[in-house]
Amino acid sequence: MLTNADKFWNPLLETLPREKLQDLQVRKFRRIMAWAYENSKFHRKLYKEAGVQPADIKTMEDIAQVPKVEKSMMRNIQKKEPYPYGDMLCVPLERVTEFRQTSGTTGQPVYQPDTWQDWEWWAESWAYILYAQGYRSTDRVFIPFGYNIFVAFWAGHYGAEKLGCEVVPGGVLNTEARILKMQELRATATMATPTYVLGMADTARRKLGIDPAKDLNIQKITCAGEPGASIPATKKRIEEAWGAKVYDHIGATEIGAWSYECMEKPGGLHVNEGLFLVQIEDPETGEIIEEPGKPGKMVITAFDRIAQPCIRFDSKDIIMWHEEQCPCGRTFRLIKGGVVGRADDITKVKGVLLAPTAIEEVVRAIPELGDEYEVTVTKKGDTDDISLKVELLPEAENRKDEVMAILVDQLRVKTNLRYNISFHPYGSLPRYDVKAKRFKDLRKIH
Ligand SMILES: [Zn+2]
């Protein structure tokens, strides 16, 4: 019998030869651009000023000439008419059924309206993710979050239902109650931020005497919200703690859920090229990068999002194409190692470019250290000072010097920087559920 999942999954699209896929993408781009041109004052003005019309779009190179949209432009129009979204809105207000907003870690949040059609599109994009990660109608999925006004777990919830999974919303409960509920219901899968999923395992062991790898039935974990699941050392920690497969996905409120890891885990994530167009741009020349392994800025379009379209959005994410095709058979291209940085986050310390994820990779690869760490960059006189706090596990107390030597050496190799490192008792650094703030750059304040 055909299940929801079989009906949903469209292998024809996911395995389409590249040429055909690109033809489809150009046509879909032209269609969404025309929609925005006709229905939003913001887009019409943007395109008229640049002298491009939807009918001009015939190739990928034509698409690269279409002006980009940045988050700051979205912020500028919001709280204006039609209130509170502004004139990027392409539908009458009465067609809007969902309000969401960005989490605002980098400035004022952006409001995101969606119609019911958009909401079905969100569920579909998540169903691609979950199907590729082995979710089927036999799964019972526990989601340990109150979803609030943030889209990620709402969309994960609906995507899992669309596939035919049974979904348990675990909001309101505290961490201990969530673990006990997962155990009681024999949940087979969960979705969470990497930070929270590690914290849950820790709480289970220390407060409840439950070993998630042995005493729970979780077989797969889909991560969202932070880059951790694409950082090999963090992924390994989560997989060992839970005895489960850990998969990453990448999405954003103003874009959609555009990328996912499949069960082959090829060291990268597929771009959902049926629903999105991802172009990588050389930050200096603006040219499209096609060659693998060369990092650049992502410019992304969602083909089917209609209320507040996402067309040539400059996300500030730094990504690169993977050299290889995935053995899973999908022709959707892979990006290597997920989002490798954010144009905003990558910062110069002592004249050296530093991506904070590189520090996480080092800390979490050392088994004697706890999951948490904190990095603070300050200015002392004219020089940058970078301090790193880590937690030493109690069982490693007698090997302090040895652990310190490994840490210093690895940090030097991976980041080319020296740090003032201090050890702290296990459990003393702050814990986070979502959007951890482990990297603090205080140079701009003083
Ligand atoms: Zn694959």
Distance from residue 261's CA to the centre of ligand 1 (Å):
7
Look at residue 387 in the predicted model and tell me its pLDDT.
92
Q: Which residues pair with 384 in a beta bridge?
A: 379
Q: Residues for the chain: how many in total?
A: 446
- State yes or no: pLDDT of 26 exceeds 90: yes
| Distance of alpha carbon 53 from alpha carbon 99, whole angstroms | 30
- State yes or no: pLDDT of 408 exceeds 90: yes
- State yes or no: pLDDT of 42 exceeds 80: yes
User: Which of these ranges, 51-55, 100-104, 130-134, has the smallest mean pLDDT?
Assistant: 100-104
Distance from residue 215's CA to the centre of ligand 1 (Å):
30
- State yes or no: pLDDT of 8 exceeds 60: no
Look at residue 31 in the predicted model and tell me its pLDDT.
97
State the angle between helix axes of 194-208 and 175-185 in degrees (0 to 180), rounded to the nearest 10: 80
Distance from residue 328's CA to the centre of ligand 1 (Å):
4
Cβ-based neighbour number of residue 114 at 10 Å: 25
Which residues have C-beta within 8 Å of that of residue 45, sequence separation ≥ 6? Answer: none
Mean of per-residue pLDDT scores for the chain: 90
Cβ burial 261-272 (10 Å sphere, 16+ → b, else e): bbeebbbbbbbb
Look at residue 302 in the predicted model and tell me its pLDDT.
98
Look at residue 12 in the predicted model and tell me its pLDDT.
63
The burial class, CB within 10 Å (0-12 / 13-18 / 19+), for 176 is middle
- State yes or no: pLDDT of 5 exceeds 80: no
Closest CA to 212 of 134, 144, 260, 159: 144
Percent of the chain at pLDDT above 90? 67
Distance from residue 274's CA to the centre of ligand 1 (Å):
14
Handedness of CA 258, 263, 265, 266 (dihedral sign): negative
Percent of the chain at pLDDT above 70? 94
Which residues have C-beta within 8 Å of that of residue 115, sequence separation ≥ 6? Answer: 91, 95, 96, 97, 98, 306, 307
Distance from residue 276's CA to the centre of ligand 1 (Å):
17
The three-class DSSP label of residue 209 is: coil
- State yes or no: pLDDT of 30 exceeds 80: yes
3-state class percentages of the chain: helix first, strand second, coil last, to nearest 5 = 35, 25, 40
Distance from residue 377's CA to the centre of ligand 1 (Å):
38
Look at residue 1 in the predicted model and tell me its pLDDT.
40
Residue type (1 letter), 354: L
Closest CA to 57 of 89, 25, 88: 25
Q: What is the pLDDT of residues 344-372, one digit of tens each?
A: 666 778 877 777 778 888 898 899 998 88
Q: Give the mean pLDDT of 398-415.
A: 91
Distance from residue 330's CA to the centre of ligand 1 (Å):
6
- State yes or no: pLDDT of 106 exceeds 90: no
Look at residue 344 in the predicted model and tell me its pLDDT.
64
Distance from residue 12's CA to the centre of ligand 1 (Å):
15
Distance from residue 189's CA to the centre of ligand 1 (Å):
20
User: Which of these ranges, 44-58, 64-78, 175-189, has the smallest mean pLDDT?
Assistant: 64-78
Distance from residue 331's CA to the centre of ligand 1 (Å):
8
Q: Give the mean pLDDT of 15-21.
A: 90
Q: What is the pLDDT of residues 258-273, one digit of tens each?
A: 999 999 988 899 999 9
Distance from residue 326's CA to the centre of ligand 1 (Å):
5
Distance from residue 338's CA to the centre of ligand 1 (Å):
13
Distance from residue 6's CA to the centre of ligand 1 (Å):
18
Distance from residue 214's CA to the centre of ligand 1 (Å):
29
Distance from residue 29's CA to the centre of ligand 1 (Å):
24
Distance from residue 385's CA to the centre of ligand 1 (Å):
42
Q: Give the mean pLDDT of 41-60.
A: 97
